[in-house]
Amino acid sequence: MIGVIMVVYQYILVVFDLIHLWVYSIFLILQSAWYLISPRSMKSVTGEIVLITGAGHGIGRELALQFARLGAKVICLDINEKNNKSTVADVCREGGTAWAYKCDVSQREEVNVVCRKIQEEIGLVTILVNNAGIMPCKAFMKHTPEEIEKLFSINVFAHFWMIREWLPLFVAAGKGHVVAVSSIAGLMATSNLVPYCSSKYAVKGLMDGLSEELRYAERHPNIKFTCIHPFVVDTGLAQKPRIRFPYFNPITTTSECAGKIIEGVRREEDTVCIPSKDYYGHKLMNLVPISVRKAFLDFMDTGVDEHDS
């Protein structure tokens, strides 16, 4: 008799779990729809200590300038010491607070040494922005093994080394924000960028996995993760972009891109696509068969043409 009662009890639990899942799913769908109409309010970053990799050029430089204008204190990391100091000088010239550290973020030991120095000299970072990256544009078989290893060291492993340094401190403090610059190529692959696409998919996987791991059982709900997926940005990395319909997929300036990133961070969004229409296009494309998606991509004729590195 007890055995029968337990079986019935288990079935009742399953039914209630299914009802809960159904109701909660509807709520999440409605919530997402509402956020499309009325975006979340933006938090202040005044007083935050923001560490940005690849801050000497492009998106990283603009992020440093714009975070500082909002009252944040900025720590700039770059392997190019001259460019990095130039970014810091520009921030300070505008009245902001910034520090420059030379660091090859692909080297785990160097990241460890620099991050410990930052802790001693400045204190706890509250927002970590993993931005540094490279993008060679050529056919897969033209990449040497050394080039592929270098690309993954900078585009992927650097994220791991930086996060391993700061995430334990975020956990101890009970708060923190990790931002990773992936790419639209980390959502939809394209030719002449096979290793790059692979690295950006890896970044998305890292961020999705960490977010889920810390969310599970409400372990650390106050630690936020934001993954950025820009289209082509005028940093000079994509020297020969091919865009059939530039109105729908415009090349973004570094200033516009940085502004959208910071807006997403301040809204604590988990995913930011730039331009935002790419995000909705990606979501819609996931609703149809892959053969139709590929035909649509052929029609759009958007990608990156090969060029010598």
In terms of phi and psi (left: phi > 0; alpha: psi -120 to 50; beta: otherwise), the region of 43 is: beta
Instruction: Give the integer Cα–Cα distance in Å for 228 and 256.
Output: 13
Contact assessment for residue 226 and residue 180, using Cβ atoms and an 8 Å cutoff: yes
Locus of tokens 């030719």: 191
Say if residue 139 is exposed, middle or buried (CB neighbours under 10 Å; 0-12, 13-18, 19+). exposed
Nearest to 225 by CA among 307, 305, 127, 151: 127
Instruction: Give the integer Cα–Cα distance in Å for 89 and 184.
Output: 32
| Residue 141 exposure: Cα atoms within 13 Å on the Cβ side | 0
- Catalytic positions, written as ranges: 196
In terms of phi and psi (left: phi > 0; alpha: psi -120 to 50; beta: otherwise), the region of 189 is: beta
- Which tokens hold the place of 241? 């972009």
Residue 243 backbone dihedrals phi, psi, to 5 degrees: -135, 115
Nearest to 49 by CA among 31, 70, 33: 70
